[in-house]
Structure 1
Amino acid sequence: MRPIFFLFFILLFSNCEKNMEASADMKIATVKLPPRQDSDSKDKQLPNEVSQKIIKTANLRFETDDLEKTYSEIQKALAVSKGTILNDSQGKDYGSVYRNIRLKVPSQNFDIFINDISKGVSYFESKEITAEDVTEQFIDLTSRLKTKKKLEERYLEILKKATKVSEILEIEEQISNIREEIEAKEGKLKYLESQVSESTIIIQFYKTTAEKEGVKISYGSKLWTAIKSGFFSLSDFLIELLSVWPFVLIFCVLAYFIRKRFKRRKKE
């Protein structure tokens, strides 16, 4: 009788256990789990409050027939794009005169400015345009800055509760170091913001002088130039001659007396 009762108890216990597992599975099934995301896609997604940070730069070089006209056109395009000139230098080397301009243009007007100054250029000797994405660097600096500021707040709270002079001095030293790091990161963020908000553009344009001026001078012009040069040389000679007239007069008087003496000797 006892074995039969023991067997019945085991079957009853196993049946209850199965019912409990089934009810537990039903409870788990009713819970709505969030959609699964890969770790890579999480890393690639940007925070909603941070927009993409792009640093744009351009370096242009071309030849022109009129330096002043080209510079005037660049100024007009710069006024439309609300840009500013940072550096402006000009000079002359063998066979050409040139002008180099370094300027800043708001990033939203970068493409407009490049298109405006490209209209009057037949071809570019060099045209380099770069776009550097610094979004991750910006996010990293922002995150580190927030962490340092929270750490600074914690040290300030601890400083309020400190009683010993040694503890106060040690905490103040830590706060000073953290403050230096915060200022350094804030400086980097401001620099990145300025580079992103305003694009740097370098424009180099020049005019060839030696060959073009040689072609424009005709043979008649060269002949007339030679005549004028000879006339001016003769004038210079006469002026030099007038400056030594006393010596010329003495020479003429001496020549006259010497000649007269020779004539007397021949007659004798």
Structure 2
Amino acid sequence: MKNTVYIFLVSLCLFSACGAKQTSMEAADTMDVSDESLRKAETSLTQNQLAATPHEDLYSNGKVKLIKTVNYRFEVENVKKASENIEAAIKKYPAYIASSNLRLENPILENKLSIRVQSEYFYELLKEIDKQPRFVNFRDVSTNDVSKEFVDLESRLKTKREVEERYMDILRKKAGTIEELLHAEQQIGELHEEIEATISRMNYLKEQVSYSTINLEFYQTVSEEISAADTIGMKDNFLDALKTGWQGLLTVILGITYIWPILLIAGLTIIYLKFIRKKQPVPYKEI
């Protein structure tokens, strides 16, 4: 009986030891998974923060942010000279030509330019261009205040970074289950995409504010080509008349060729009628 009790106690101790060891191994595995998730998340966060951190001068600083644009169409005496003068004026300022399109649609020769100039020199360059027109079709200057949008984007960016930091605290402190840690890592990735989109929009607005746009359309009427087209010499008239007459003759011959059976029948009919009349006796008239 004592041997039986002794064997039972030994078996119970061995069973408890095995259970404790298995629990310890599971906990170790859980800790390894948690540590691995934490390392991945921290690495991802470090890279995201480096990529998504904007420049200090990106923010509005309480200043008014205006996007300036002008659409300008006018007539010039000479498109080539006007283009050279405008290009020379552009070189005086921090500006560049974004696009250029020269075309001739007789009798109009037109050049279209899109110019980007630093906002501080917008009106100075515009004054230089004002010297070129001989006639102005339109000159529309517009400004778009994006200060409110800047402030709104900054507020969103700040909020998203705060939420991202809270999720990082969860990963650092390992506060939660594996599912919660993985969810926090997923949320950090989504927040990073939203932060990148916000910063991209802010960079675009900053570029639009820093550089204003001048859209030009200037043209000239090529009068020489119009007069040459309207005054044709006698020689040209004579040659055109010969060509037209020859074409008319060929058209008549071609038409006759199409209706030759009808002409043949008509000719035979006329000959037959003349022959019949000759054979008929002449009636005798009494005097």
Same fold (TM over 0.5): yes
- Percent identity between matched residues is 33
Q: Structure 1 residue 74 and structure 2 residue 79: aligned?
A: no
Q: 2:145 aligns with which of 133, 138, 150?
A: 133
2:101 matched residue in structure 1: 89
Give the Cα–Cα distance (whole angstroms) in 2 for the partners of residues 48 and 74 of structure 1: 33
TM-score normalised by the chain length of structure 2: 0.57
Matching residue of 2:201: 188
User: How far apart are 1:138 and its partner, in Å?
Assistant: 0.5
SS in 1 for 2:64: coil
2 CA distance for matches of 1:48 and 1:156? 28
Structural RMSD (CA): 2.8
Matched, 1:177 2:190: yes
Alpha-carbon distance, 1:156 to partner: 0.7
Which residue identity is paired with 1:49?
N
Matched with 2:111 is 99
Supply the AA of the counterpart residue of 1:75.
E
Deviation at 1:146, TM superposition (A): 1.0
Mapping of residues 1-268 of structure 1, within 5 Å: 49-162=61-174, 164-209=177-222, 211=223, 213-214=225-226, 226=234
Give distance in 1, aligned partners of 2:204 and 2:217.
26
Contact 2:102 2:110 in 1 (8 A): yes
Cα distance change, pair 214–174 in 1 and its aligned pair in 2 (3 A): closer
Q: Tell me how far apart the structure 1 counterparts of residues 86 and 128 of structure 2 sit (CA, whole Å).
A: 8
What is the letter of the counterpart of residue 62 of structure 1?
F
**2:92 aligned counterpart, secondary structure:** helix
**Deviation string for 1:219-262 (max 9, x for gaps)?**
xxx69x546x699x7xxxxxxxxxxxxxxxxxxxxxxxxxxxxx
Task: From the superposition, tell whether residues 84 and 160 of structure 1 become closer, same or farther in structure 2 (CA, over 3 Å).
Answer: same
- Letter of the structure 2 residue corresponding to residue 122 of structure 1: R
* Deviation of the 1:181 alpha carbon: 1.0
Pairwise CA distance, 1:122: 2.9
**Counterparts of 1:70 and 1:48 in 2: how far apart (Å)?**
38
Name the CA distance, whole Å, in 2 between partners of 1:55 and 1:204.
Answer: 21
Q: How far apart, CA to CA, are the structure 2 residues paired with 1:212 and 1:64?
A: 15
Q: Which amino acid is the alignment partner of residue 126 of structure 1?
A: F
Q: CA deviation at 1:207?
A: 1.1
Kindly report structure 1 stretches of 4+ aligned residues shifted beyond 4 Å: 211-215
AA partner of residue 119 (structure 1) = K
> What's the secondary structure of 2:135's corresponding residue?
coil
Deviation per CA, 1:6-51, whole angstroms, max 9, x where unpaired?
xxxxxxxxxxxxxxxxxxxxxxxxxxxxxxxxxxxxxxxxx99321
Distance 1:140 1:48 in 2: 10
Give the TM-score normalised by structure 1.
0.61
For 1:48 and 1:101, the matched residues in 2 are separated by: 30
| Shift, 1:165, TM fit | 2.2
State the 1:164 CA deviation: 3.1
The amino acid that maps onto 1:187 is: S
Cα displacement string for residues 158-192 of structure 1 (whole angstroms, at most 9, x for unaligned residues): 11122632122100111111111111110110011
Q: Deviations over 1:174-223 (max 9, x none)?
A: 111111111111011001100000011110011112x45556x7xxxx69
SS at match of 1:81: coil
